[in-house]
Amino acid sequence: MARSASCWGIDIGKCALKAVRCGPSSDPRKITADAFDYIEYPMLLTQPEADPVELVQAALAEFVGRNKLKGSRVAISVPGQSGLSKFIKLPPIESKKIPDIVKYEARQQIPFPLEQVVWDWQRLAGGIDEGGFVIDAEVAVFAMKREQVFKALTPLTRARVEVDVVQLSPIALANMVTFDQLPDLATIDPEKPPASIVLVSMGVDSTDLVITNGLRIWQRSMPIGGSSFTKALVQGMKLTFAKAEHLKRNAVRAEDPKTVFKVMRPVFNEFAAELQRSLNYFTGTDRTATIGKVLLLGNATKLRGLSDFVAKQLQLDVQRLESYRGLEGPAVMNAPAFRENRLAFGTAYGLALQGAGGASLRTNLLPREIVIDRLIEAKKPWAVGALAGLLAAATISFAGMFFAWTTYAPNLYASAFARADGVKSQSQAAIAAFEEVKRKQEESIAQQQYLVRVEDRRFQMLDMLRAVETLLPRDDPGKVPENPADRNELHVERIDCQYFPDLAAWFTGVSQKWAETHPAEEAAEEQAEDEQGADTPPAGEPPAAEGDQAAEAPAAAAAPAAVTGPTGPGWVIQMTGYHFHNEDHHKPDESAQFVRSTIVKGLLGEGDEVAVTAGPLAGQMVSVADLGIGFPVLVDSSTVKVVRIPRGAAPAVPGAQPQGNADAEGAPDLVLRRFDFTLQFCWQPTVPGAPKPPPPPPAAPAQDF
């Protein structure tokens, strides 16, 4: 294990690897930095085309190749979301019993068996020790699943980097801000603590929030990071991720900075609102705490106007942490690369501070078995020396016996065995090479198929909505009636969607409504229309009596075949709307029948075809059934009610010139007959012309609308 007082703090982020080596200083309130490194990845680890394992491994190889690690301790960080942090207020208790009660509390607070986690604890500053008892003491408990710890250590183990400290990123930041921005903990009066400092460290896809006054610590992670601004530019300006990232970093020098910041404005608002909610929660739980200032960390906070916007929203002193008070060392502090990226070194600074012995929180999530193995490794030379002596004696004895054996047993088959072993080695090597090529081929094919499916599915929702819009009834352009009651229109007020693990459960609940939406009489009417020519009597013959026609109607109406509803996972789309097509001269095509003869008929596959955007049939016309749409059901409808609409508020004729207010005031109100309806249909998204994807994992049971 390393025995030097210096320590490398390594922060493996989503954008770059940051590392700084620090050692003790003659000033107890400072620490000396004598080396650093900043290695930015070719692309963000969160980009879809990125290989995080390969990018991190390459960065570590470059870091190890150009820096000296031997003789220094190494501390690394893991994301705050990967671990658990608990701050527990202890009752009055004897000092010697604190470890026992902490272990009891850990079993209660950690949602996993302690054998499956790596955990550590430390008593925080404050509290009163009197007569062997501790009053108002508070302890911090940190835990992380054992498999997550080993996953974080894997890339460093492959790079032959021996890690001494594993710490959560928010705790490393808390150590940094306590050492760098607050007075010495020994001088703080627990009755009159200083104002709390809010440290906001923005990463790529999340932001660590740490609030501390030296005595108490509060932290959480917010799901907003620098990539949130990039994604806003990707969506708002239709750019690639790489171009959007470049534009974000150079927003001030863009051709139209105003448009760039306008697109990112919602993210600004969301970030400030999330920060305000966190501060409100903190002040609500600790009503004695006061907020002093807000410090911003992370290269993403260099975005122009972010600090001023947050300050205006929070009404607090907000500033970027431009300099580190407790860090010295001109070789590092004056280096251009460090000065350019100083906002990104907060976590690495806190890690190196702990490894060098200057941090207030000294918990370590390095597994105990690794520490024991290293202790054993350190004692191995002595054991090896003793074994070497025994081996030498055994070798001398064996050499005498072997010499005597070879004298009487010539090595007749040594060359044949050597050739056989060589052929066996070549065969094993060839088989291993073949299996490796086969594995890589299968991985490439699987990745290709995954990307193809993602490419084809990205426009499914738009294709579904476009199909529904195409099926809505409408009048020909230029032939729209003046009276809204005579227009072929359905007014859709809202569209909702809900996922069902099995659509059979939905169809069972609406089977009665299905029968009402598709009655047997419709089949009879269609059959009568088809046979109208055959039923028309010849000229000169009287028409059949109405009683005879009525008697033949039941025989002509054929009962519809039993309908098998949809099965498997899918979505239920609900449309809520109304129409005015309910006048007497519209009969029988009015109320629910008008809905059935228009949108319901189209959703059954009898309407116009629609164009698809992606997939093997991109740009071609397909039916709605090819999109996975079907089984329309009128689940709710109202009676026709009379509504009075002021002439000025009536729906305008498309393409007509709007009337002035004076004409609207003098015209009588429109009296219309309104029919409200609620229509549901199922949608099982498919890519026309493509093979069906594998079934999704089981989902939670659906809830009612």
Q: What is the pLDDT of residue 539?
A: 39
Phi/psi of residue 282, nearest 5 degrees? -65, -45
The number of C-alpha atoms within 13 Å of 284 and in the hemisphere containing its C-beta is 6
Q: Is the dihedral of CA 100, 106, 112, 118 positive or negative?
A: negative
Q: What is the pLDDT of residue 692?
A: 60
Measured CA distances, 162 to 10, 73, 473 (Å): 12, 8, 71
Binning pLDDT at 50, 70 and 90, where does residue 17 land? very high
348 and 18 Cβ atoms separated by less than 8 Å:
yes
Angle between helices 257-285 and 241-249 (to 10 degrees): 80
Look at residue 524 and tell me whether its pLDDT is greater than 80. Answer: no
CA–CA distance, 155 with 61 (Å, rounded to integer): 10
Q: What percentage of the chain reaches a pLDDT higher than 70?
A: 86
Tell me: the pLDDT tens digits for 214-233?
A: 888 999 999 999 999 999 99
CA–CA distance, 386 with 388 (Å, rounded to integer): 5
Query: Exposed, middle or buried by CB within 10 Å (0-12, 13-18, 19+), for 27?
Result: exposed
Quick count: other Cβ atoms within 10 Å of Cβ 483?
A: 12
Give me the mean pLDDT over the 184-199 stretch.
86
Q: What is the average pLDDT score of the chain?
A: 84
The distance of Cα 35 from the centroid of its chain, to the nearest Å, equals: 35
Q: What is the pLDDT of residue 555?
A: 35
H-run or E-run covering 271:
helix 257-285
Q: What is the pLDDT of residue 556?
A: 36
Q: What is the pLDDT of residue 455?
A: 63
Tell me: the pLDDT tens digits for 293-302?
A: 999 999 888 8
Per the structure block, which two tokens stand in for 274? Answer: 């999330």
Full-model pTM? 0.55
Quick count: other Cβ atoms within 10 Å of Cβ 200?
A: 25
Domain boundaries, the chain: 7-366, 411-457, 458-524+562-652+663-683
Tell me: the pLDDT tens digits for 205-214?
A: 899 999 998 8
Look at residue 699 and tell me whether its pLDDT is greater than 80. Answer: no
CA–CA distance, 665 with 648 (Å, rounded to integer): 7
CA–CA distance, 143 with 146 (Å, rounded to integer): 9
Per the structure block, which two tokens stand in for 76? Answer: 């690394």
Q: What is the pLDDT of residue 342?
A: 92
Q: What is the pLDDT of residue 411?
A: 64
E strands of 424-526, at which residues?
A: 491-500
Q: Is the dihedral of CA 179, 183, 187, 192 positive or negative?
A: negative
Binning pLDDT at 50, 70 and 90, where does residue 688 land? confident
Per the structure block, which two tokens stand in for 6? Answer: 């210096």
Look at residue 662 and tell me whether its pLDDT is greater than 50. Answer: no
Q: In terms of Cα–Cα distance, which of 117, 126, 119 is closest to 102?
A: 119
Give me the mean pLDDT over the 238-258 stretch.
87
Counted residue by residue, the chain has a size of: 705
Q: DSSP assignment, residue 506? A: H
Look at residue 326 and tell me whether its pLDDT is greater than 70. Answer: yes
Tell me: the pLDDT tens digits for 329-366?
A: 999 999 999 999 999 999 999 999 999 988 989 999 99
Phi/psi of residue 451, nearest 5 degrees? -65, -40
Q: In terms of Cα–Cα distance, which of 621, 575, 618, 594 is closest to 465?
A: 575
Listed as own residue / partner, the contacts of 124-128 with beta carbons closer than 8 Å and 24 or more positions apart are 124/87, 124/215, 124/216, 124/217, 125/185, 125/188, 125/214, 125/215, 125/360, 126/190, 126/215, 126/216, 127/190
Q: What is the pLDDT of residue 242?
A: 87
Q: What is the pLDDT of residue 167?
A: 93
CA–CA distance, 203 with 670 (Å, rounded to integer): 59
Give me the mean pLDDT over the 83-101 stretch.
87
Give CA angle at 198 (210, 353), nearest 5°: 55
Q: Which residues contact 478 (CB under 8 A, 6 or more apart)?
A: 655
Fold type of domain 7-366: Nucleotidyltransferase; domain 5 (3.30.420)
The residue type of 291 is I
CA–CA distance, 92 with 80 (Å, rounded to integer): 30
Q: What is the pLDDT of residue 81?
A: 87
Q: What is the pLDDT of residue 379?
A: 81
Tell me: the pLDDT tens digits for 111-149?
A: 889 889 999 999 888 777 777 788 888 899 999 999 999
Q: What is the pLDDT of residue 510?
A: 92
Look at residue 558 and tell me whether its pLDDT is greater than 70. Answer: no
CA–CA distance, 425 with 428 (Å, rounded to integer): 5
Give me the mean pLDDT over the 530-538 stretch.
46
67 and 37 Cβ atoms separated by less than 8 Å:
yes
Question: Which has more confidence, 125 or 53?
Answer: 53
Q: Are strands 73-78 and 7-12 parallel, antiparallel or unpaired?
A: parallel
Look at residue 407 and tell me whether its pLDDT is greater than 80. Answer: no
Q: What is the pLDDT of residue 414?
A: 73
Look at residue 658 and tell me whether its pLDDT is greater than 60. Answer: no
Per the structure block, which two tokens stand in for 523? Answer: 């089949």
The distance of Cα 266 from the centroid of its chain, to the nearest Å, equals: 18
CA–CA distance, 182 with 696 (Å, rounded to integer): 52
Q: What is the pLDDT of residue 535?
A: 46
CA–CA distance, 368 with 347 (Å, rounded to integer): 24
